[in-house]
Amino acid sequence: MSQHPAVTFRSAAVVLALALGAATPAAADAAPRSRPGDAVRSALDELAGGGEFASALAAVREPGGRGRDYTAGVGDLATRAKVPVNGQVRIASTTKTFTAAVVLQLAGEGKVELDAPVERYLPRLVRGNGHDGRLITVRQLLQHTSGLPDHSKAIPGTFFDNRHRYFEPRELVDLALTLQPLFPPGKGWSYSNSGYVLLGLLVQKVTGRPIGAEITDRIITPLGLGDTYWPNPGEQRIRGAHPRAYKSRTGEPGGEPVDVSEMDPSRGWAAGQLVSTPRDVNRFLGALLGGRLLKPAMLEQMKRTVPVPGAPRGWGYGLGLTKISLSCGGLAWGHSGDVGGYSTRGGVTEGGRSATVTATEKSLTAEGDKRLDRFLDTALCAGQRPAAGQALR
């Protein structure tokens, strides 16, 4: 999950020693090799060499489907193993875009009304301590304008205290409701994982199926996202090849990195539980913005944004989707997420170029967060800029 406004909108809240990726779909285990003038390669090396991250892996996909994979750093600090090309990672709050897409599919089918109160679908669930589901709409949950506080702020103890604890979705909602509303519904913006937990419960109530099954049947399987999955209850290990994830126990830069690759992701649930790869996230974002998952009217709704306090100029938040203003001009759309030592940024330009990066933390600083966003900008803009010594045509 993420929690500040940026591509991540960290626990927002839309991505990356020694090798340059082979063009997909080349063998995923092939050692990538460097190529002169590759801005993405240089940016990834800089990212992994900055001290905040042990490793980084990224994928860039062109509009026609051809792509390249990149890795940098060390995939396992204990064994000094290489970073697996297109390895599986916890994509955290990027899950929100999957959840939002399912809600909007249901809206397109006439089963959910975006401006209806949550109370219609989850009677009497959001009540007490100043909260009232009769006043909060589905759109406001998707947009983070509901005023619902984040349940993570009500969980006692540290990440390490709760790393292996399983949370029921209803328990997460109840934790959020112990906190006062941040503002009246529709009168502000604040990133809320709890809002997306409610959306997961709404999907289950409307469809009669688990949210993980709906995401799988409606998105993962139709798009052929073979390395993306919804972890089973209690499942703590990542199934495929993956870089190890780390967190500083003190949370301070330079602190001893602790391997936290195994953890229970249930505290994120519909807000942040998915495991995926850079290639799969690119394929998903390309399909979503390319109109393969939503009816045109619903995609238009998804891209209607509101301002986000503290976000870079030109950025905004739609319905589970971040609008990203690029340094090379134009826009990209995506999301990001941070949880358990994995930090992911992903986006797709309006021209169809997509990029996703995940870095494994040693200790994520504000500067490290900005460096992730800069990498994503570089990767998305690289197709519009000449390589070193190459003239624009």
Nearest to 153 by CA among 259, 11, 343: 11
Q: What is the identity of the amino acid at 120?
A: R
- Helix segments in 84-187, DSSP class H: 95-108, 138-143, 159-162, 169-177
φ/ψ (deg, to 5) at 280: -65, -40
Cα separation of 195 and 93, whole Å? 12
Q: How far apart are CA 260 and CA 243, in angstroms?
A: 11
Contact 377, 326 (CB under 8 A): yes
Q: Is 283 exposed, middle or buried (0-12, 13-18, 19+ CB in 10 A)?
A: buried
Four-residue CA torsion sign, 294, 104, 270, 359? positive
- Peptide bond preceding 253 in cis form (omega within 30 of 0): no
Catalytic-role residue among 2, 55, 93, 276: 93
Q: Does residue 336 carry a catalytic annotation? A: no
The answer to whether 173 touches 22, Cβ cutoff 8 Å, is no
Taking the C-alpha atoms of residue 91 and residue 1, their distance in angstroms, rounded to an integer, is 8
d(CA 277, CA 40): 18
Calculate helix-pair angle for 169-177, 193-207, nearest 10 degrees.
Answer: 130
Phi and psi, residue 67, nearest 5°: -150, 175
Do 225 and 283 touch, CB atoms closer than 8 A? yes
SS3 assignment, position 384: helix
- Report DSSP state, residue 26: S
Strand partners of residue 69: 59
Say how far apart CA 340 and CA 328 lie, in whole Å.
32
E strand or H helix that includes residue 279 = helix 278-289
User: What residues are annotated to the active site?
Assistant: 93
